[in-house]
Amino acid sequence: MSVLLVDADPAVRQAVLGAGFEVAQAADVALAHQHDAVVLCPRTRQALEDLGQADGLRLAAAASAIILLADADVELEAELLASGVDTVLPLDEVAALARTLRQAVLRKKLERATRMAYATDLATGLPHQAQLLEHMSQLLALREREPAPMVLLVLQVEGYAAAAARLGAEAANVLRRKVAVRLRSGLRASDVVAAVGSDAFGVLLGRLESPSDGERVAAKLVLALQQPLIVAGQPCEVRAAVGLARYPEHGKQANGLLQRASAQAGSVAAMGREGYAGRSERALGDAANDEDPTGGQPH
């Protein structure tokens, strides 16, 4: 287990090392996501109070167990716990640090597993909207320190009702799962696909190789969905409209970017047009097909 020590004195470092943990030291929590746990050791009352107001603490707490080694009054302790600290350990209880670390890391793993269980769209096996927004928020926080563009696509898909009317209600569920597979197979492992509604999918492109990647991938995915999907031995057709939101051009908040992309996708669908607004859907490269393992390559 890896532990990051922030402003720790030699006694604390020795206590953690002596318990068999891997140890790294830093002046802040920026690298918390690389470790199982973080031990914070603020040396002044002001540093302790500032900690509760730090946005970086909340981001670190999403990835790692946070142990605060300090003497804090009841009111300040409550504020720090609300900010993401898992345990506040008084300075005279350093001997209990190793046990506290193990318990905090275990709780964090259980919490993460529970969150993932409730963050999955059961119909497709994809993350759902809350999980997408959480992932985006963490990525956007990192972008504030290391600026880089990213794109969120929302695909509004039509065709489930026709499949249900022709082949039965379960056909719509099967078709939705096949749409999810086709979208996922046409993207890189680093791209995130999530269910953001009963007929919509979000695609987060966190790393762009060129400024036109968003439009190119949007058109490619629409083209992929134009190829019929096989349900109960019968070809089923779907149509897709795509909205696009680009960071930082269109906003710096996860909710705002999702709302923009969703609204754009909805307006395109309402006009009865397939595809990305104002873009051609033709001849932008082969797309992956879940019925044809040889078709297309991830972008």
Write out pLDDT tens, residues 242-292: 999 999 999 999 999 999 999 999 887 533 344 444 333 333 333 333 444
Helix, strand, coil content of the chain in percent (nearest 5) = 45, 20, 30
| Residue 286 maps to a domain | no
Most confident of 81-85, 102-106, 109-113, 275-279: 102-106
Domain count within the chain: 2
Identify the domain boundary among 89, 118, 147: 118
CA distance 166 to 205: 35
| Residue 281 maps to a domain | no
| Residue 290 maps to a domain | no
Measure Cα distances from 273 to 83, 156, 205, 268 in Å: 46, 11, 24, 6
CATH number of residue 162's parent domain: 3.30.70.270
Output the pLDDT for position 84.
Answer: 84
Q: What digits encode the pLDDT tens for the residues 17-37? A: 888 999 999 888 888 888 999
| Residue 289 maps to a domain | no
Identify the domain boundary among 59, 94, 118: 118
Residues 139 and 265 in one domain: yes
Say what percent of the chain tops pLDDT 90.
46
How high does pLDDT run on average in the chain? 84
| Residue 137 maps to a domain | yes
Residues 156 and 226 in one domain: yes
Residues 206 and 239 in one domain: yes
Average pLDDT over residues 35-60: 82
| Residue 283 maps to a domain | no
**Which of 14-18, 42-46, 108-112 is predicted least confidently?**
108-112
Most confident of 91-95, 150-154, 193-197, 235-239: 150-154
The residue that leads in pLDDT, 170 or 83, is 170
The residue that leads in pLDDT, 120 or 203, is 203
Output the pLDDT for position 57.
Answer: 80
Residues 238 and 262 in one domain: yes
| Residue 89 maps to a domain | yes
Residues 267 and 164 in one domain: yes
Output the pLDDT for position 125.
Answer: 84
Residues 98 and 155 in one domain: no
Residues 143 and 264 in one domain: yes
Using DSSP, how many helices (H) and how many strands (E) does the chain show?
10, 12
Cross-strand partners of 289: 292
The closest of 272, 249, 275, 274 to 260, measured between CA atoms, is: 249
Residues 94 and 134 in one domain: no
Q: What digits encode the pLDDT tens for the residues 70-83? A: 888 888 888 888 88
Q: Which domain holds residue 256?
A: 129-276
Q: What digits encode the pLDDT tens for the residues 182-229? A: 999 989 988 999 999 889 999 999 988 888 999 999 999 999 998 999
Output the pLDDT for position 268.
Answer: 76
The closest of 86, 196, 184 to 135, measured between CA atoms, is: 196
Output the pLDDT for position 225.
Answer: 93
Tell how strand 22-26 and strand 2-6 pair up: parallel
CATH number of residue 84's parent domain: 3.40.50.2300
| Residue 291 maps to a domain | no
